[in-house]
Structure 1
Amino acid sequence: MSAALPRRTLWLPLLLHTGLSWSAETPDTDAVVLETVVVTDSGASPYAVRETSAATRLNLSPRDTPQSLTTFTRERIEDQNLQSLRDVLDNTTGVYSYSYDSERVVFSARGFTIDNTLYDGVPVAPGLNTGSSDASLDTALYERIEIVRGATGLMSGAGNPSAAINFVRKHADARTPEGMLTLTAASWNDLRTTADVSTPLSADGRVRARAVAVYQHRDSYMDLYENEKRVFYGVVDADLTPITRLSLGYDDQATRPQGNTWGSFPLFFSDGSRTHWRRSITTATRWSYWNNDTRTAFAELRHRFGNGWSLRSSVQRRETDGHSNLFYVYGYPDRDTGEGLFPYAYRSEDAGRQNTADAYLSAPFTWRGLQHEWLIGATGSWLRGDADEFAHGEMADTGNFYDWDGSYPEPMFERVGTDIQRNRTRQRAAYSALRLALAEPLKLIVGARATRYRAEQYYLYDGPETFQHDHDRITPYAGLIYDLGSQWSAFGSYTQIFKPQNLQQADGTYLDPLDGYSQEVGIKGAHFGGRLNTALTVFDTRQDHVGVSDVGRYVNDDPTRPAYRQADGTRTRGIEAEASGSPLHGWNLSLGVSHFRMQDGDGETIRRYVPRSLVRAFSSYTLPGDWQALTLGGNLNWQSASEVEAAQNVQGDVQTIRQGSVPLLGLMARYAFDAHWTLQVNGNNLLDRRYYVLDEYANLAYGAPANVAATLSYRF
């Protein structure tokens, strides 16, 4: 890391523990030592979990969580060979991804961009280049990944009413040496190796360590493209006492794409007719790259008091660095000669630094013979982000695009960059949640987060001023759960979230923050002793204070700066159904179906580039008897039709580009040679469906053709 964690910040969890433990009951010397809780055992089946705190920080069963929730366990991640966050979210109920180019990926849920990311429940900033969660994050570091849909202001602070992604880190829980080594070979020269090793560091197992390492190099179905990934994660867990654990960890992820695209390929010829390129088409050059590094150091302290209360506190330092050398072409080529495109190049460097601290106290208690729980906490986040761009000299003509091979000459870039973007954001918040058992079948969850948001933001192309944000907001949370019997519960919830925006009105004042609201009602089930979780949810999600163009008016009468006005804007209504777990021994499944409608304040359908209906299905079955070494599985990801409007020519005529429904079929097979060695094969898009991925700017990208991956694993 280029900057060390502040010493006083590292001591915060220890100070909190010391101060609060004085008031705790002192346990008897003969007290039973608590067994180490292994996260992978928290579920009743390989695809289901018994408890989650992703929505409220309260430890609740999925059935008692009054929001839509999807959990990817370690087993499911491995069964589907889900290597990146995009792999996970592309298999998540109600989530759709699209890309501006080969590197910038945006995720959406219920029509809104997903910009809420958390590590072990603590929020971190989204990616600088997209404002969405980082699609390249490797899954090898995490025990499970949880996605809560809707407004998540209680947990996330500022953001969109879309979804929150919570990464639950792996920990060193093994008291004897154990580990797993894997080697994966896939289509397009994709080679990946991973190591995940745990070992005790003390004879009694009270101090343990775990290390995860990944190396991957791959080409692509896109011409010129290749990417190298290096990932390391290490954590030490120490039982300071039988009821106190200290965790120290660090991760480092580096991606090195070369020959990457920036933007899309030409959609129309100069005569207005549509282009039809091969799926390997690229507009990249051989000198293009987009390097990114993410480093995180964290410390966490957990303490359980003798009265059943518990304290959890953490500090985290996250650093991101990006270095890019980019190129794209724009215009309308001549159908016969391939000429007529214009080049554009861009070089930039960006750096982000974020410190966070979080602490909360959980206090279960008994009142009137029923069990309740109260939680109170505080969090702080300090973010600094900077970006520079580098000017360049004249550029050569692109020539005949039919002959494009990426050998276009690199322009001469300036050695000193220009400050293009600055961000100084500070969020401080106090939050609390209370679960009350009003009666034996009826539970109420109420909570709120009081946030103080301060920011100074500057972007060169938005004007010369620095945006000043100063907001104090309270985001409430309310949920009601009614048990309908031993398996079913009905629920309803109301949640909020807010997000500051940089748009200005004609008098120069900034628009109020976007206000997001989610209302959900539904029914949830826990079946077969908790091995299978089901949910059916009807939702209504809204976002108000949306900035719309104030036609004919300008900020402070400056004709280069169009003014905006705010309106109670978008509304999404829909339904989500989901089932995950193990209905039978050896049979694991996950099925999610979603549909929504999205309209602006005038009732007009918007964001049509996002498919309205999605199906996410995966199932695996381990054969019985003499065939129990063999596991077979398959998945189907289906999306409904979508469309976007694109400029057809230089005159600005518009044509609608439509993508029909897309079914993507995958299969898997795994054979266990013995208790240590397994071989698994995964195939994707086996029907070899040719399709586009659309975005709001009509940047089209081809989806990956049929591909296959084989993974050899060794466990010890």
Structure 2
Amino acid sequence: MRHSYKRNALHLALSVACAIGSAGLAAAESLPAPRAEHVFDIPAGPLGQALTRFGDRTGLRLVVASEWLAGQRSAGLRGTYDLQDGIRQLLAGTGLRARLSGDTLLLEQVADDGQALELGVTSIESSGLWLGEVSEGSGSYTKGRSRAATGLAMSLRETPQSISVITRQRIEDQSLNSIGEVLEQAPGINVQSPGSDRLYVYSRGLAIDNYQYDGMPTTSFAFTQALPQALADMASYDQVEVLRGATGLLSGAGEPSGTVNLIRKKPTETFQGRFTVGAGSWDLYRSEIDVSGPLSESGHVRGRAVAAYQQNNSFVDHLQQEKTTLYGILEADLSETTRLTFGVDYLRSDPRGFSTTGLPVIDRNGQRFHTSRSDNAASRDSSNEQSSLTTFASLEQKLDAGWTLKLSLNHLYGKRDYDSIIVGTTTGFIDAQSGDRLRYTATKGDNTQEQRGLELRLSGPFQALGREHELVAGFSYQDYENRRNGYGNLLANGSSNNGVSGLPVNYYQWNNRAPVASYNFNREDDDINQWQNGVYLATRLKPTDDLAVILGTRVSNYRYDARLDYHVASLMPYATHDNMRANGEVTPYAGIVYDLDDSHSLYASYTSIFKPQPYRERSGRLLEPREGDNYELGLKSAFYDGRLNTALSVFEVRLDNDSIADGTLNGNSLITAYRASRTRTRGADLEVSGEIRPDWQLAASYSHSVVKDADGERVKAHIPVELLKVFTTYRLPGALNRLTVGGGINWQSGIHMDVDNWQLPAVARVSQGSFATVNLMGRYQLAEDWTLSARVNNLFDKHYLSALDENFYSASWGSPRSFIVTSQYTF
């Protein structure tokens, strides 16, 4: 297997540092005096898996050449050992030995004469691949461990739910610079963007609104159109985990669709840096710089700084984007067992020609209205400037017997200033012949959002009935405030038409030039407050070597308050106040994993669902909270010591009070109404990710999910039932080994939406048939520290509707064929 120069240089530096730091340890097999004894319960099996468990237990990072693990097995390790005796016992008979550098164990192969073999520049593999939780530097499309499901560090195979990861290598191979682009490639995920920087993300036929940063939950409401999560730039992140299914154990109130966990980049123990520039279609220009390494001679203080800047136009007329990202993080080892982390993440997005909706797709007769892909529903000077500042910190304390106590804090402040004039179908349906019957809608205002989060987590192993088990217990707190002050409804001499008002506009003639807006009402108080806390407990019991039982529960308290007060000139003031409370809400979790052999495991899991929702019936009354159950069965496999993972699962979600679009509110045709329904979602997921042979990475997935109501009728048809996603890269052998080529296909089944509005003669349907897009990439190693990459999206320039918006009766076109060329220099 060949690996990048940079990664091997880093490992060589580690080995040199290790040799210098252990000058008194001339004996090849010796280790420094251990800090403490540990209780181990590692069964016999593949050496890679045994080392994973050893790293989990001791908190050490391991670096080892991947080929040295191929076919190797360990007799296991049970009992109380210090570090030195434990690793010797685990490596007995393997021809390997260990050397310690800080919190890293460097494994070396021993020659017949007892000397360590030379560490070749193409033979070192970072433990971050299958022996850890970091993907950077692994070169892989999979990872080793995750805590997303229960808070317990488990391999993907050991996790009794569907979990996928978009690694750093995948992000760079496909130039996935935004969270939307990442999620478009994630298994089982459908992304619809009915407006710039506005994302609707669906999994298993349901919307995702659970976002985490390094496992810390945050709050999002898609209907507020102010989502800092949707702005996330991948320059700051090592990987993105996507857990499909309910995650109430850690998140509390949440959808049964899934959770997106963005894992930030961490400081490195040795100096490294990279500078990246790129250019692409529609005047796209992007630059990134990323520098990391020790900030003290001892290496006990480490830091990392990342900056990215991007500007671009769009295939949509008059749409321009400018985006800035700044990220910094510090780690300090206060002692051998205490680590402090502090970081700041700043984002600013400043689009022009910004639209919150898609394009008209229904005319006044209920027929399909056809638009160009370049059409824009917004005026040229419409804007939606957003910025967010996130500060985060954690203090991690390693305790005796392998236990760890961690306190994590997160604070997010976001601000939005918008001034937008759009032409949309919420103000009428177009006359296809003349282009008339539409009106302007104007909105202007500012929006601030503040979130605070805290989590205290205790985790570690314990002994019972002669076996070692694991336990995690925690307390979490979330506080969310959203404040908006705005103006709306551009009027012509105060005219009004059944609540739909505005200056008339001809769609064919307006050329995205709107008149200067005047506003007639002021939302003086438009506030949302959400607060929740909870305690949770989960344990992973090991009755036998082959069986794991995961049990957990969470008790949550939840509060939601929304207040809207506005007044319209010459009309009575209008006010609403919505309030929801839930105390002592119990969310159980249960999972079981049975190892069929060294590679294959069967699993089953169950969790309950509780989610208050801000949607209204036609009468204006809020829907009751969603409640239900989530079941999943599956088969997972891990090959080549975890470098290749596969998963097959079937699932069922049963929901009460699910929200189904149901026309508009009585007396207000601008606001979509919903009805509460009992629904059932059934489906299956299939995924393969990782290294299928040296230098060949593959990520392939198929998902099927359909939502039906109590009458057995399909609902939420604007979400595709089937998704197929494949992407692969291969580094050519021999004289062509500087070249990596790759490509893939994204296919989805057909979607449709029914438009039910009093202005139409009958219910109208908008459909998009099944379609596929093809993507290609290539990367050439110009020098050991310099690469040149190119990527083509939608190679055959497929025309398709990527989003159907039931709220605005609109649709959005998918991106045409495009390219991006990127050059990266490492130092």
Q: Same fold (TM over 0.5)?
A: yes
2:212 to 99, 118, 131: 118
The aligned counterpart of 1:232 is: 326
Output aligned runs, 1:118-197, within 5 Å.
118-127=212-221, 129-130=224-225, 134-175=229-270, 177-197=271-291
Structure 2 CA distance for aligned equivalents of residues 523 and 270 of structure 1: 51
Q: Write the letter of the residue equivalent to 1:456.
A: D
1:482 to 583, 594, 610: 594
The verdict on how the C-alpha distance between 1:422 and 1:648 changes in structure 2, with shifts beyond 3 A counting, is: closer
Structure 1 CA distance for aligned equivalents of residues 104 and 800 of structure 2: 48
User: Is the partner of 2:636 in helix, strand or coil?
Assistant: strand
Structure 2 CA distance for aligned equivalents of residues 707 and 391 of structure 1: 36
The verdict on how the C-alpha distance between 1:711 and 1:365 changes in structure 2, with shifts beyond 3 A counting, is: same
Structure 1 CA distance for aligned equivalents of residues 660 and 695 of structure 2: 53
Q: 1:624 aligned to 2:733?
A: yes
Identity of aligned residues (%): 34
2:561 to 456, 481, 486: 456
The aligned counterpart of 2:518 is: 412
Structure 1 CA distance for aligned equivalents of residues 219 and 324 of structure 2: 22
Q: 1:105 aligned to 2:210?
A: no
Q: Would the aligned equivalents of 1:268 and 1:649 in 2 still touch at CA under 8 Å?
A: no
The verdict on how the C-alpha distance between 1:550 and 1:214 changes in structure 2, with shifts beyond 3 A counting, is: closer
Structure 2 CA distance for aligned equivalents of residues 562 and 709 of structure 1: 39
Displacement of 1:648 after TM fit? 8.6
Q: Write the letter of the residue equivalent to 1:615.
A: L
Structure 2 CA distance for aligned equivalents of residues 335 and 550 of structure 1: 26
Q: Would the aligned equivalents of 1:449 and 1:475 in 2 still touch at CA under 8 Å?
A: yes
Q: Write the letter of the residue equivalent to 2:103.
A: E
The aligned counterpart of 1:537 is: 649
The aligned counterpart of 1:358 is: 455
More displaced, 282-291 or 390-399?
Answer: 390-399
Output aligned runs, 1:221-370, within 5 Å.
221-270=315-364, 272-329=366-423, 330=425, 331-370=428-467
The aligned counterpart of 1:401 is: 507
Q: Write the letter of the residue equivalent to 2:540.
A: R
What value does the CA root-mean-square deviation take over the aligned residues?
3.1
Structure 1 CA distance for aligned equivalents of residues 227 and 487 of structure 2: 25
More displaced, 197-206 or 661-670?
Answer: 197-206
The aligned counterpart of 1:374 is: 471
Larger gyration radius, structure 1 or structure 2: 2
Q: Would the aligned equivalents of 2:241 and 2:261 in 1 still touch at CA under 8 Å?
A: yes
The verdict on how the C-alpha distance between 1:227 and 1:480 changes in structure 2, with shifts beyond 3 A counting, is: same
Q: Would the aligned equivalents of 1:374 and 1:433 in 2 still touch at CA under 8 Å?
A: yes
Displacement of 1:133 after TM fit? 8.1
Structure 1 CA distance for aligned equivalents of residues 349 and 421 of structure 2: 19
More displaced, 435-444 or 338-347?
Answer: 338-347
The aligned counterpart of 2:609 is: 497
Deviations 1:201-234 (A, max 9, x none): 1111111110111100000000000010000000
Deviations 1:501-540 (A, max 9, x none): 3468999996542114210001000012211000000000
Q: Would the aligned equivalents of 1:554 and 1:562 in 2 still touch at CA under 8 Å?
A: no
User: Is the partner of 1:54 in helix, strand or coil?
Assistant: coil
Q: Write the letter of the residue equivalent to 2:651.
A: F
Displacement of 1:26 after TM fit? 8.2
Q: Would the aligned equivalents of 1:45 and 1:531 in 2 still touch at CA under 8 Å?
A: no
The verdict on how the C-alpha distance between 1:463 and 1:709 changes in structure 2, with shifts beyond 3 A counting, is: same
Q: 1:714 aligned to 2:819?
A: no
Q: 1:653 aligned to 2:762?
A: yes
The aligned counterpart of 2:690 is: 581
Displacement of 1:431 after TM fit? 0.8
Deviations 1:18-56 (A, max 9, x none): xxxxxxx98599997742598844367611211111111
Task: Give the TM-score normalised by the residue count of structure 1.
Answer: 0.90
1:699 to 810, 820, 827: 810
Structure 1 CA distance for aligned equivalents of residues 696 and 101 of structure 2: 36
Displacement of 1:565 after TM fit? 7.8
Deviations 1:330-384 (A, max 9, x none): 3344444333321111112111111111111112123344331011111111211
Q: 1:64 aligned to 2:158?
A: yes
Displacement of 1:267 after TM fit? 2.0
Q: Would the aligned equivalents of 1:578 and 1:592 in 2 still touch at CA under 8 Å?
A: yes
Q: Write the letter of the residue equivalent to 1:605.
A: R
Structure 1 CA distance for aligned equivalents of residues 671 and 694 of structure 2: 63
The count of aligned residue pairs is 687
Structure 2 CA distance for aligned equivalents of residues 488 and 30 of structure 1: 30
The aligned counterpart of 1:390 is: 487
User: Is the partner of 2:380 in helix, strand or coil?
Assistant: coil
More displaced, 455-464 or 292-301?
Answer: 455-464
Deviations 1:218-273 (A, max 9, x none): 00000000010000000011111122111110000010011012323222444554
Task: Give the TM-score normalised by the residue count of structure 2.
Answer: 0.78
The verdict on how the C-alpha distance between 1:26 and 1:682 changes in structure 2, with shifts beyond 3 A counting, is: closer
More displaced, 332-341 or 71-80?
Answer: 332-341
Residue ranges of structure 1 left out of the alignment (5+ in a row): 1-24
